[in-house]
Each structure stands twice: as structure tokens, then as C-alpha cells.
Chains A and B, each alone.
Chain A
Amino acid sequence: MESVSNTPEAPNARTPGSEASDGEPLVAVHGLTKLFPVGAGPFRKPSSFIHAVDDVSFQLGHGESLGLVGESGCGKTTVGKLLVKLLEPTDGEIVFRFADDSVAPAADDPWDSAAIRGRLLRSFRRRVQMIFQDPYESMNPRRTIYDIISEPLSVQGMGDVQYRVDRVLEILTLVGLAPAGAFLFRHPHELSGGQRQRIAIARALVIRPSFVVADEPTSMLDVSSRTGVMSLMQDLATELGVAYLYVTHDLAVARYMCHRIAVMYLGKVVELAETEELLRNPLHPYTKALLSAVPVADPGRRRQVPDIRGDLATPIDPPSRCRFYERCPAATERCLNHPHPPIEEKTPGHLVACYEV
């Protein structure tokens, strides 16, 4: 049996807000905000706003894998879509620094996400890709596997048919679908969920991007195919030097996939630390609750009851105090009367947004 080989070594301990020592980060996100209008019509002003992503900052190094964890609806996918420019932010900036800049802007020049348009957008798409959550809906059922995987190459006008066939066969072999030729002219519905997710990965990686947003790539998969896809993504990361933003609601999966984990709650990043540090020493009350809610397969162990009240709300025009206040077991007077706590470094590389830590 093949095992998920690489243990992430020397995880990037760069911290948001501080300049990294060994070169620039690949992605630097600062104050990222996305509001969705509620109840707006063509001629009607929105009555309120969903604060899907609210003042989020983090950095991601070259080849690093950052996990984004949180409950459903907390804004994980929205962050991912903002990064790949499927959505435009309401506020804040995203700056990319790609290592191998052969196209403008020149090497080492920062790419400000807001300024990426037209021709620049095309070369941006060669460097930043996304793997979608649902392997069933994210592929056009009428197109063949070859069409799907070669789409980034063909819309970018890269190479002739022969070149694209070669690239597609190469990447199919790489994602473990063999014999590759047998898959070229199949349709997605003729493949299993695990095979489809491999196709989705192949599509994202066929143009060799530097950065991939992976939105819950394993959540729709069965146990057996899930491990396969997880180890595949890790192997490809080391082999091709891809950096991932790995969106998931499963902390256990994030543990195996990510160097660092950011925990989101209602549009805010509430804690960010190296993976093992976060799991062993969670500081934010929400992270603690989240960790203690994961069932363990060890019948001898008794978990403690997660210390959290109430249900997840929707962040429609939230009050300015701490987002977690209503559910927080540690809340104090101070939390009630102050704005949402800023995210601060409590121990080296461990950031928390909470007054009581």
C-alpha cells in the first residue's frame, strides 16, 4: 500500500503583516472584504449586506499550503473566489509575486489583483487556478475529458493540437489515471467521483500554475478515494512547486494537507498558526470548540463537550463587537463594548483575534 508520503517539513512561519525574511510571499492579502447586497433589485437599493469576508489578511509563501477551515457559510469559498478573481473585492488588496515572471509585469514586480484586466488577466490565469468543490457539477457534461483538461491550454492559445494532446496525456498519467489514452474521449459521467476529482486536479495543473485554490476537493469523495486524492495533491505540490489555499471544513484533512491553518468564523480569520501548533495548542475559544467537536475513532477516549452555545448565524449587518460573542463561553464585558478584536501575534507565528487570550 502506498502511503501519504511527505510530512510537511519546515512549514512557512511567515506571519501576516510582517515582511518575510527569505523573499517576498507569493500572495499577500490585506484587509480583504466582500459584502453581498441583500434584497437588491435592478432599481432598488440593498436593504442590508452579508459580510461574507470581513477584513481578512494573511500571506502565503511559494510552495506553501495554507488551510482555510470553518463552518459552512463562514466565507471560505468567497475568499477563494476573490483570490482567483471570480469575484471582485469590496475592499482590501491582494498582491501576487510570481517567481517565474516571463510575461509582464517584469520579474519580481508585484501583481495587484485589482489592476489585473484584459491581457494581464490571461497570463494571471496561467499562474492561478482553482479546483472546485463539486466534481459532478464543475465539469461540462457534454465535453470529453480531453476537452475539459485542455480547456486552459486552448483558450490561452497554447500550442497546437499535438502539443495539447501530449500535455493532457502527461498530466493524466501524473494524476494516476492510466492508461491515459483510454480517458481522452470519455465523458465525465462515465467516471467515478474519485476519478473525476483527479480530472479536476489535472485541469487545474495542466498549465503549471504557481498557486491553486482547492475548494474542498475531497469533501464529496468516499473514504478510499479521498486518501488517494489527498496524497496526489501533496505529491504534485512537491513535484511542481505549487502553493495551495486549501479550503475545507474538515480539520483532520487540513492536518494532513497544510503547513498552516487559518480558522474562519463569520467572515473573520480568528486564528492562524502552524498546523500542529494549532491542533495542540488552540487559543481562540472557537478553535477549541471546533477541535473538540471532531469525533475520534478511538472508543476508549472520551471527548469533552464542545464549549459553544447556539447556532451559526448569517453575517447580515453584524454588530461591530466580536463576531463570536453570542456563542463564546469566555465572553466578558470588554468583548461586548469593544469592536471585533484585531488579529495579533500571541506567540511567535501564532495569531489570534480575541481579547481574552
Chain B
Amino acid sequence: MTTPVPVGPIPTPEFEVELGRGRVRFVLARLRLMWRSFRSGWGIFMESRMGRLSLFTIVAFALMAAAHPILMAFVWDPATYDPVTGYSFDQVEQPAPPSWKHPLGTDPLGRDVLSQLLYSTRSEFVLGITAALVTVGIATFVGAVAAYYGRLLDAFFMRLADLIIALPAISLLIVLSALFHLNLFYLALIIGVLGGFGGTAIILKSQALSIKVKPFIEAARVAGGGDFHIIFVHIIPHLLPLALLYMMFTVTSAIFAEAVLSFLGLLDLRMSWGIMIHTANTGGYLLGGTRYWWLIVPAGASITLLCSAFYLAGRALDEVVNPRLRRRND
């Protein structure tokens, strides 16, 4: 072949690819490309009111979670403010209503409600995000593999998914938590596994099926790509946007499940929003109507807000991910 390879910098619309000193520049150009597509997706996300609202709420909760260790280290005396072992001696009667020292009051055991709330936020995030990552990791892989290989593997995973869907997840969790002492990590793992082999896998599989029959898969095979290459380079990247969407929904359901189990007193956690409500309930304060509102409202509202925020984030991501909605913005 005698066609001369062009040398020196070749002008490109957005970036300069310099041959010769290739690699770094080359990687840089790719990063810029990824950044550009991220920015356009971000723009669409922030254009929607749901997106802005959910992001604002999630960031607010994240700040709350981050604030707790700082407050404990520099402002709050652990003897009084520890979310589990603290006791407020200056209050005559427990639970005490909000005051300057305890902005959200104290619980029936004399502990500061605000401290409990902030402390739990971190666990909720850890729980939700771990569960979501596990779900999506499993579901993406199972969906891609089942769609790509089909036949027995597909039949097996789909029957498994049907089985999991047919089982009511909450009652299964109740049984499991009654039998074993579930801590936060195991709870996240179980919720993640149930989601990952359950409905999410079916959804991601049907998406993968529609990718598998595209001619570019055949083109990749003719290029010499093996199964591994096709699954990881061509199929899974097409599943990721949808997977991200279902991650958001999983966070919601994980936080909710935790709340229910804790409320029933079945979990082995130090503190959580569900436990806060559980404590109020076992003391009989839920029946007191609105008189002891500070025992229920902060935790209850937090559960509702954070769950809806992740749900709304999912809905807003839908606009980014869904090409039909996206084309409008191109």
C-alpha cells in the first residue's frame, strides 16, 4: 500500500489528534468525547423539573449524612448526643419536645432525634446504593448472558426470575430476618440479589434481545469478535442506561424494605429511620396522635422524601436514556 499516511497534526472539529505522540492525546480525545456526551445528558436531566428536584433532595440528604460525624466530633457531646447510647439528663420528661438543645426533641429513651436522623441517613445511603449496585450488576450480566446464549440458560434464568417475582419480597425478607440476624450489609445483599435475579433481569434481558438481533452484532462477529467481546463491548453498554434507571428504582425499594423490617423490629441495625419509628411504636406513642409528632414525622418524612427523590431521579433519567424523548433535544 503506497497511500501516504498523513503526518503531523490533523485538524478535527473538536480536538487535535496528534499522531507521533499518540497515546496520551488519543486517550484525552476520548475523555473529551465522554465528557461531551455526559454533558449533553446532564443538560437534559437538569432541564426537567423532576431531575432538578430529585437532585436537590438527594444532595440535601447526602449533606445531612456527611454532617453527622462532624457534629459528633466538634459540636455534640457523645454522652448526650450519641444516637444509640446518648441520654439527655437535662430533660425532666422523655420524650421531650423540640427545644434549643434538641431541635427535634428526644425519643422515649432520652436520645436526640436529630442526631438519630442524621446518623441513619448514612446507613440508608449505604443500604440503597449497595442494593442497587448488586441488583444492577447481577441483572445486567444475567440479562445479557440469557439473551445472548438463549436456549437452556435463558429458560433457566427466566424461570428463576418468575419464581422470585411470584414470591412476595417483603414476606420473604421477614422470614429471612426472623431466621438470621440480618445486618445492613446482608440486607442490602439480599435485596440486591432478589432484584438482580428477579424483574430487573427480565427487563434488561428483553432490552438485550433487541440488541442481539441488530446487524452490528453480526458485523462484530465477522470482525473476529468472540462471545466475550460481543457481550461486554456491544451488548452491555447498550444496557447500562436502562440499568442506571433501574438502579434508582432499586434504591427506593431498598430503603422502603428496610423501613418496614425495622418497624417490625426484625433487623440487627444500630439505628435507622425504621428503628426510630419502631421505638416510637413500642413505646405506644404512635397512638398518641399528633402530640408526639417529633417521634414520627422526621423519620417518616425522610423515608418518603428520599424514596421519592430516587424515584423521580429515575423518571428524569428516563428522558435522558430514552432516545425517543431525547431526539427532541438534539
Stretch from A131-139, A305-313, A338-346 contacting the other chain: A131-139
- Contact of B30 with A125 in the complex, beta carbons under 8 Å: no
Q: Is the CB of B218 within 8 A of A86?
A: yes
CB-contact partner of B215 in A122, A137, A174, under 8 A:
A137
> What chain A residues lie within 8 Å of B237 (beta carbons)?
142
Report B-chain residues with C-beta under 8 Å of the C-beta of A129.
Answer: 222-223
Residues in A with CB closer than 8 Å to B151 are 42
Q: Does B288 contact A (CB under 8 A)?
A: no
Query: Which of A161-169, A271-279, A292-300 has 4 or more CB atoms under 8 Å from chain B?
Result: A161-169
Give the residues in chain B near A219, CB-CB below 8 Å.
none
In the bound complex, residues from chain A placing their C-beta under 8 Å from that of B3 are 170, 173-174
B12 to A182, Cβ gap below 8 A?
A: yes
Contact, CB under 8 Å: A182 / B11 = yes
B interface: dominant SS: helix
B10 touches A162 (CB 8 A): no
Residue of B10, B19, B234 touching A182 (CB-CB under 8 A): B10
| B224 at interface by CB-CB < 8 Å | yes
Q: Does A126 contact B (CB under 8 A)?
A: yes
Interface flags, B122-143, vs A, CB<8A=1, else 0: 0000000000000000000000
- Minimum CB distance partner of B238 in chain A: A142
Tell me the bound Cα distance from A180 to B12 in angstroms.
9
- Select one of A86, A125, A139, A174 contacting B224, CB under 8 A: A125
A314 on interface, CB distance cutoff 8 Å:
no
Rounded to whole Å, the gap between the CB of A295 and the closest CB of chain B is 30
CB distance from B152 to the nearest CB of A (A): 8
- A-B CB contacts (within 8 Å), total count: 103
For B330, the closest partner residue in chain A by CB is A189
Question: Which residue from chain A places its CB closest to the CB of B217 in the assembled complex?
Answer: A140
Contacting residues, chain B, for A185 (C-beta < 8 A) = 12, 14-15, 17, 29-30, 33
A327–B232 CA distance with the chains assembled, in angstroms: 49
A132 and B224 in contact, given A144-B33, A166-B5, A185-B15 (Cβ under 8 angstroms): no
In the complex, whether B216 has a CB less than 8 A from a CB of chain A is yes
B1 touches A130 (CB 8 A): no
Identify which of B12, B19, B26, B222 contacts A84 (C-beta below 8 A): B222
Cross-chain contact A161 with B6 (CB below 8 angstroms): no
Question: CB-nearest residue of chain A relative to B151?
Answer: A42
Given contacts A42-B155, A173-B3, whether A156 and B224 have CB atoms under 8 Å apart is yes
**What residues of chain B lie closer than 8 Å to A161, measured between beta carbons?**
22-23, 26
A122 to B30, CA, bound (A): 28
Chain B residue contacts of A155, Cβ below 8 A: 220, 223-226, 229
Tell me if A151 counts as interface (CB < 8 A to partner B).
yes
Q: Which of B197-232 contact A (CB under 8 A)?
A: 214-216, 218-226, 229
| Bound: A216/B224 CA distance, A | 22
Which residue of the partner chain A has the closest CB to B213? A137
Residue of B nearest to A125 (CB): B224
- A137 touches which of B22, B214, B225, B226 (Cβ 8 Å): B214
B12 lies within 8 A of A134 (CB): no
Nearest-neighbour CB distance to chain B for A180, whole angstroms, equals 7
Residues of B within 8 A of A140 (CB): 214, 216, 220, 234
Would you call A122 and B224 a contact (CB within 8 A)? Answer: yes
A181 and B10 contact, CB distance less than 8 A? yes
Interfacial chain A residues near B234, Cβ < 8 Å: 140
Roughly how many angstroms separate A129 CA and B221 CA in the complex, as a whole number?
Answer: 10
Contact A203 B215 (CB under 8 A): no
- Of B12, B23, B216, B238, which one neighbours A181 at CB under 8 angstroms? B12
**Complex contacts, B14 vs chain A, CB 8 Å:** 185
The answer to whether B10 touches A180 (Cβ under 8 A) is: yes
A152 beta carbon closer than 8 Å to chain B: yes
**How far, in whole Å, are A144 and B237 apart by their CA atoms in the complex?**
13
The residue of chain A having its C-beta at the shortest distance from the C-beta of B27 within the complex is A161
Chain A residues lying within 8 Å of B1, measured Cβ to Cβ, are: 170, 174, 240
Q: Which residue of A has the minimal Cβ distance to B228? A: A155
Structural contact, A184 and B12, CB atoms closer than 8 A = yes
Let me know if B13 is at the binding interface, CB within 8 A.
yes
Q: How distant is the Cα of A161 from the Cα of B223 in the complex, in angstroms?
A: 17
7 A-B pairs with C-beta separation under 8 A? A134-B215, A142-B237, A151-B220, A155-B223, A181-B6, A182-B11, A185-B33
Beyond the given pairs A151-B225, A173-B3, 13 more chain A to chain B contacts, judged by CB atoms under 8 angstroms and listed by A's residue number, are A86-B222, A122-B224, A125-B223, A126-B224, A130-B219, A130-B222, A161-B22, A165-B19, A165-B26, A181-B6, A181-B12, A182-B10, A185-B17
Q: Name B's A-contacting residues (CB within 8 A).
A: 1, 3, 5-6, 10-15, 17, 19, 22-23, 26, 29-30, 33, 151, 155, 214-216, 218-226, 229, 234, 237-238
The 3 closest A-B pairs by CB, nearest first: A181-B10, A125-B224, A152-B223
